[in-house]
C-alpha cells in the first residue's frame, strides 16, 4: 500500500479496513486478518497495525476475542459510517470548502462532477 506522508500510517490503515468493511470484502462477525497478517500485507510494523486495531476497537468497529483473534463488530457498518463521517467533516471538509471558495466552483458544477464520478467508479 502506498502511504500518504500527510497522515499517520495507522489512520490510513484504519481507512483501508473501513473501506473493506463498507465494500463488503470483510463480512460482519467474520474474523479479520491478525495483526501480523495485516502488518505483512501492509508492509508495516505490527505495532502500527495494533495501534489501528486499538482505534477501531474504541470505535466499536472490531472486537478482540482473546486467544481467537479480531472480529468485525455486530454494528461495524453503522460505526464505520459514523467514524468516517465525523473524521471527514472535521478533517477534510474544511479544506474542500476552502478550495471551492478560492477556485470559485459552483455547486451545480460539483453536482455534475459528483454524479459522473459515481457512474464511473461505482456503476450506479
Residue spans of the domains in the chain: they are 9-76
- Overall CATH class of domain 9-76: mainly alpha
Separation of alpha carbons 119 and 49, rounded Å? 33
Separation of alpha carbons 3 and 42, rounded Å? 10
Q: What is the pLDDT of residues 20-66, one digit of tens each?
A: 999 999 988 789 999 999 999 999 999 999 999 999 999 999 999 99
**Whether residue 2 has pLDDT greater than 90:** no
**Whether residue 123 has pLDDT greater than 80:** no
* Crossing angle between the packed helical segments 35-42 and 46-58, to the nearest 10 degrees: 120
- Sequence-distant (≥ 6) Cβ neighbours of residue 84 within 8 angstroms: 15, 18, 22
- Sequence-distant (≥ 6) Cβ neighbours of residue 37 within 8 angstroms: none
Q: What is the pLDDT of residues 58-97, one digit of tens each?
A: 999 999 999 999 999 999 999 999 999 999 999 999 999 9
Amino acid at each position: 500500500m502506498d502511504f500518504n506522508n500527510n497522515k499517520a500510517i495507522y489512520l490510513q490503515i484504519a481507512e483501508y479496513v473501513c473501506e473493506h468493511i463498507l465494500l463488503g470484502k470483510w463480512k460482519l462477525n467474520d474474523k479479520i486478518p491478525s495483526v501480523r497478517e495485516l502488518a505483512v500485507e501492509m508492509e508495516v510494523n505490527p505495532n502500527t497495525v495494533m495501534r489501528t486495531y486499538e482505534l477501531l476497537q474504541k470505535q466499536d468497529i472490531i472486537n478482540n476475542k482473546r486467544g481467537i483473534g479480531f472480529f468485525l463488530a455486530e454494528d461495524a457498518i453503522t460505526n464505520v459510517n459514523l467514524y468516517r463521517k465525523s473524521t471527514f467533516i472535521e478533517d477534510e471538509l474544511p479544506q474542500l470548502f476552502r478550495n471551492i471558495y478560492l477556485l470559485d466552483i459552483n455547486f451545480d458544477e460539483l453536482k455534475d462532477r459528483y454524479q459522473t464520478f459515481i457512474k464511473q467508479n461505482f456503476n450506479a
